Structure 1
Amino acid sequence: MGKGLLAGAAAVAVLAAGSAQAASTELRRSSADMRGLTFLVGGGVEGYTSGLRDQIDPGLAYGVTVAIKPTNVLGIELGYTGAISDFNDSRLLTTDTSGPDIVRNGAQAAVTLGLSATPLQPYVMGGVGLSRYNVRALAPGFQDDTVGNIPVGAGLRLHIGSFTADARVNYNFLFDQEFALTVPPSDVNLGSDETFSSGGRYVGTINLGATF
């Protein structure tokens, strides 16, 4: 009889512990605001690849993102993206300027897809963007221009209550490179009249904000 009581008590304890753990997990999930409207502000580093890499040094990237998440895994974003960079002085003959040599201001729309429905959520993203390049230094072969881009990337997002933190890396395929006349404006033929640039722009940022 004593052994039966002990076994029963042990079974109840195991069930209680399992229920408590499940309740704790559910509480953590429910206490994190993963759905709704998210505001993020962040910064990081931006650089270029291919022929642009040797002429433009990596610089400071920054941005503001507004996202709506109708579910725990799907998000739709609109964002402002910007960066300031300097030309590689060993590659280009430029005049001295106060401040950055080239300033980029842009906007993008993107879709994010979470790989889990947990408060610590890895995700992938893709979208379309448009940037205006303003060349401040007098540099042969560079000019102001507007360039379209396709951003693709991945990130890790953390939700704690309404607080949201996001770390992201993305690569931007450029429609052309006409702000840099020293490299082919569009050197990848996609067939018909469509062309693309082999050069691109990479961005890594850390973003902080809240979800409501």
Structure 2
Amino acid sequence: MSKGLLAGAAAVAVLAAGSAQAASTELRRSADMRGLTFLVGGGVEGYTSGLRDQIDPGLAYGVTIAIKPTNVLGLELGYTGAMSEFNTGSVLATNANGPDIVRNGAQAAVTLGLSATPIQPYIMGGVGLSRYNVRAFAPGFQDDTVGNLPVGAGLRLHLGKFTADARVNYNFLFDQEFALTVPPSDVDLGGDETFSSGGRYMGTINVGATF
């Protein structure tokens, strides 16, 4: 009797494994992992180093258009934006109608999947440019255009044409001249090249479709 139960359990296990593998294969076949992807989403954006104490984390949002020639490689163009408030304990600012700082930017990035599966972890890197609009009157802050290098990681889900994406990234700033109270470029890279030790982080959840 025990041998029969063991044989039956083994048979069930084999069938279950086969069914799971078939389901996984079918999911992979039905998932549109290549092609043109449109994503919209939002999350949170904040700052590090000297900027962290002056600007509170705020709302982030964006739109991304990506093309994936393979299951793992992606090329992106995106709009990124954010609305932030000054830390009133560190910055003497008049009240603004709406957010104190509005950032509008664009970036190009490359994504590399760490697996060729419908649930796909990935890494990314690129280059971007943002325009900062300071809407509150705050000594030491001004409108400015700042370049950045975004790097990050995420997890993407492909389910048929539906695509969902959760991502965190860190943006190295070329300078931080929109905030004159902190050094604009305080990392010496040698020669005439400098970089800002302050940066910007962002975490977003995005949804859309792949065609």
**TM-score over 0.5 for the pair:** yes
**What is residue 105 of structure 1 aligned with on the other side?**
104
**What is residue 44 of structure 1 aligned with on the other side?**
43
* Consecutive unaligned residues in structure 1, runs of 5 or more: 1-6
Structure whose alpha-carbon radius of gyration is higher: 1
**What is residue 186 of structure 1 aligned with on the other side?**
185
Return the alpha-carbon distance in structure 1 between the equivalents of residues 200 and 57 of structure 2: 10
Return the alpha-carbon distance in structure 1 between the equivalents of residues 132 and 31 of structure 2: 39
Return the alpha-carbon distance in structure 1 between the equivalents of residues 181 and 197 of structure 2: 14
Question: How far apart are 1:96 and its partner, in Å?
Answer: 1.1
| Percent of residue pairs identical | 81
Code of the aligned partner of 1:174: L
Return the alpha-carbon distance in structure 1 between the equivalents of residues 161 and 106 of structure 2: 25
SS at match of 1:157: strand
Return the alpha-carbon distance in structure 2 between the equivalents of residues 108 and 47 of structure 1: 18
SS at match of 1:190: strand
Alignment CA distance shift 1:17-1:83 (3 Å):
closer
Code of the aligned partner of 1:60: L
**What is residue 152 of structure 1 aligned with on the other side?**
151
Return the alpha-carbon distance in structure 2 between the equivalents of residues 103 and 14 of structure 1: 57
* Cα shift readout 1:162-187 (whole Å, capped 9, x = no counterpart): 00000000000000000000000000
Return the alpha-carbon distance in structure 1 between the equivalents of residues 50 and 12 of structure 2: 66
**What is residue 171 of structure 1 aligned with on the other side?**
170
* Cα shift readout 1:58-107 (whole Å, capped 9, x = no counterpart): 00000000000001100000000000000011111111111000000000
SS at match of 1:28: helix
Alignment CA distance shift 1:102-1:24 (3 Å):
same
**What is residue 3 of structure 2 aligned with on the other side?**
none
Return the TM-score normalized by structure 1: 0.91
**Structure 1 residue ranges, 4+ long, deviating more than 3 angstroms after superposition:** 11-23
SS at match of 1:181: coil
Return the TM-score normalized by structure 2: 0.92
